[in-house]
Each structure stands twice: as C-alpha cells, then as structure tokens.
Structure 1
Amino acid sequence: MGTTPPTALLICEHCDTVYRRRALVRGDVALCVRCDAELERHHALSVNAMLALILTAFIVFVQANMWPIVTLGLSGQHNSTTLWGMIIAMWREQAQVISVLVAFTLFFFPLGKMLTLGWLLWFARRGRRAPGFVRLMVALHHFGPWTMSEVFVLGALVAIVKAHTYFDVVADPGIYAYAALTLLITIFAGVDLRQLWDEPLESPA
C-alpha cells in the first residue's frame, strides 16, 4: 500500500484530528469538524508579496524610530521627543521597569520579528530553507504576543487628547509612521505563516 505524503495531511492543533488536505480558493477557511478550530485558510499573499510587505514595514519602522512622536508647547517653549527619547526619560525618572518593557515591546521584539521573517522569506523566495528554520519559526510563534505597536499608538493618541488640555500638542511624523506600521502589522497578522512549512524547499531544516 502507498503512503500519503505528510504535506497532503492536516492535523488539528487542538484535538489532533487528522484530515486529508484539499485545495482552497480565495475566501475559503478549513475548520475542524470535531472542535471547530481553524485548520487552514487560503493564502492570498505569495512569498514575494510577504517579503515586500516586510521590507515596507521595516522602512516605516526605521522612520517611526527616527522621527519625533509628539511636540509639547507651554509658555512659548516647545519640546519634541522620539520613542528612544521617551524611553531614556522614563529611565532617568526611576521608571526603569516600564522603560525596559517599552523598549522591548516597541523596538526589540518588532525588530526581531521583522528581521526573522525577512531572513526566512528571503531564502524561501529562492527555493531554499533558511539556516535555523525550525528554531526561527518557533521564535516567531513566541514573538507574536509581544509586538504591541498598536497598543502604543492608541495610548499615544489618548495621551495627546488629554495633554491638549494643559499643553499645546502637535502630533509629529513619528506617530503617523507608527500608525502606518500598525496597519502593516494588522495586515500581516492575518497571514498564516505555517505555509512556510509547505513551501517546496530544497535543503532540509
């Protein structure tokens, strides 16, 4: 008897039910009949499109960290700050724990996720499996909950509205860059990265 290749099977991550994979068209979502969990959805983005999206997000990320976020004015004096200026100010004001959390959730984790994805997709578009593929895919799974750019943007907008009562507040380009980055992250959040396991790659992990 012949054996079914692993790529022709789907296993539910929640109840371990095994299914035979079928081709999906745009808008299709495969659900587990046993626990109703999502098994797979149609992927509208190719590897090249995902790589272009990551490169765009990286450019916006650099701009968001270079440009000032907000300018505060009081009695004719104005002061603007970048993300790292805010982090350093919190550190100096004895809020080290918060400054470290902000640095990791708004800079290091998003940067690590983008660099890791870029590395994996660069090799995937060339028909190869990136060095350290398995470990990097596991790392991406853990990076996900710690990228909180959208929380920062919402918090910053609320703070700007409240601060406007006491200061002259001007939203600088950095906050708009973070808003664009949030949009890109939201788009990418809808992409099932598990499809990278199914790419026809040459070298083993």
Structure 2
Amino acid sequence: MHVAPGQPLMVCEYCDAVYRRRTLARREVARCMRCGAILDRHQWLSLDKQFALIVAAGIVFIIANVEPIVQVSLGSSNATTTLWGAAIAMWNDQSQVVAVLAALTLFFFPLTQILIFGWLLAFARRGERAPGFRQAMVMLYYVRPWSMIEVFMLGTLVAVVKASSYFKVVPGAGIWSFGVLTLLITVFASHDARQLWHKTAGNNE
C-alpha cells in the first residue's frame, strides 16, 4: 500500500496488517479487516486526566497496603491484618509459594505498573517520550496481565461472607482502598497504553 511520508500507521499485533491511523469518534473502535482484532479505540480521558488518576491510584495503593484489611472478633478477642501481615502469616504457615505469589500479584506487579504509567504519563503530558520509553512500554506490556487485585477482591469478599457465619468480621480501610484501586485499574484497562507511542511520536526517547 502507498503511504505518504510521515503518515501515522498502526500494525495489527496478530496478523501484521498495516493501516493508516485516523482519529476515532467517541465509542468508536477500529478493528483489523483481516483477523478482526481490535487495533485502536477512542480514548475518552486526556493524558492530564490519566496522570491524575495514576497519582490517585498510587495514593490509594499506599493506603491499601498499610491499613488493615479486616478485623475479626470472637468474644473479647480481636485481630486485624494487613496484606503484608497475611502474606507473612502464610509464609510462617509453610505456604511460601502462596505468600510469594500474593506479594508479587498484589504488591510488586501493581506497584510496578503504577510507577511505569506515572513515569510515562509525566513526560507524555508535555508531548515528550520519557527516558527509557521503549523499555518501559515493553515492561508494561508484560507486567499488566499479572496484576490480580480484582481476583483478590473477589476472593476476599467471599472469605468475609463465609467467615461472618462464625466471627464478627469488620472490613477495614485496606479492603475499601483495594476496592477503589480495582475501579481505577478498570478505568486504565479501558485505555490502550499503545496510544503513548503515537501521541509522543517524533520525539526522542
């Protein structure tokens, strides 16, 4: 196909078909004519708003990890735990594999995702590519699927409902923060991080 010099392009990651990029209308989605894969979708949040959300996600993430998840009461006995407290308890209970997976999927991977997004968006707001842009985008691509806060939320809610039959269970600030963080991550999931490639096109990495 003939392409004018400097014309923005997009390539299907599944079949390598090449298309001219155009501005999409609200709720419009571009699909590959060869394999039907989603190539692009309208981005309803500006870069400034995305940056504000990622800062909010960072603040909520800190609260979620330092505040208790639940408080369990049985008679006059009370116990509270944080995410790290639960991970340490599993490690001491000979469940090291589960403890490591919990730490990775609920702390390290989400934290890495937030930090990378924040780094990239801080420069993209000015139309610039952050130092190490290419490496950061590749890392973001591999890290995003391993952030499983949504799964943790569902599991925790099920556990709270079941435990409430035997104990008095009070959700703590940590679990509410994880709920807000899940909503923020859902919002980010609706945006294609690959947009940063062409929104900062022509600038040095």
TM tier, smaller: over 0.9
The one-letter code sitting in structure 2 at the alignment partner of 1:83 is L
1:112 aligns to what? 112
Could you list the per-position Cα deviations for residues 29-63 of structure 1 after superposition, in whole angstroms to 9, with x for gaps in the alignment? 11111111111111111111110010011111111
Partner of 1:23: 23
Q: 2:134 maps to which residue? A: 134
Question: Are the structure 2 counterparts of residues 75 and 68 from structure 1 closer, same or farther at C-alpha, using a change threshold of 3 Å?
Answer: same
**Is the contact made by 2:7 and 2:20 (CA closer than 8 Å) also made in structure 1?**
no
For residues 162-173 of structure 1, what are the structure 2 equivalents within 5 Å? 162-173=162-173
Identity of aligned residues (%): 54
C-alpha change, 1:36 and 1:110, in structure 2 (3 Å) is same
Between Structure 1 and Structure 2, how many residues are aligned? 204
Letter in structure 2 aligned against 1:204: N
Where structure 2 has 5 or more consecutive residues not aligned to the other structure, the ranges are none
Q: Aligned with 1:36: secondary structure?
A: coil
Specify whether residues 82 and 5 from structure 1 end up closer, same or farther in structure 2 by C-alpha distance, changes over 3 A only. farther
Change (3 A) 1:5 1:178: farther
2:61, 2:181 within 8 Å by CA — same for their partners in 1?
yes
1:201 Cα shift?
A: 5.3
CA distance in 1, matches of 2:101, 2:78: 27
Aligned partner of residue 142 in structure 2, secondary structure: helix
| 2: CA distance, partners of 1:62 / 1:8 | 39
Q: Is residue 149 from structure 1 mapped to residue 146 from structure 2 by the alignment?
A: no
Partner deviation per Cα, 1:73-96 (whole Å, 9 max, x = no partner): 112101011111111111111111
Aligned-partner residue type, residue 160 of structure 1: V
Residue number in structure 1 paired with 2:41: 41
Q: Is 1:67 the equivalent of 2:67?
A: yes
Residues 148 and 6 (structure 1), Cα distance of their counterparts in 2 relative to 1, 3 Å cut: farther
Alignment of 1:175-186 (within 5 A): 175-186=175-186
Q: Separation in 1 of the partners of 2:37 and 2:3?
A: 26
- Secondary structure of the 1:193 match is coil
Q: Residues of 2 paired with 1:116 and 1:37: CA distance? A: 26
Change in 2 beyond 3 A, CA 1:85/1:36: same
**Structure 1 unaligned runs (5+)?**
none
Q: Secondary structure at the match of 2:194?
A: helix
Task: State the TM-score, normalizing by the size of structure 1.
Answer: 0.95
1:202 Cα shift?
6.1
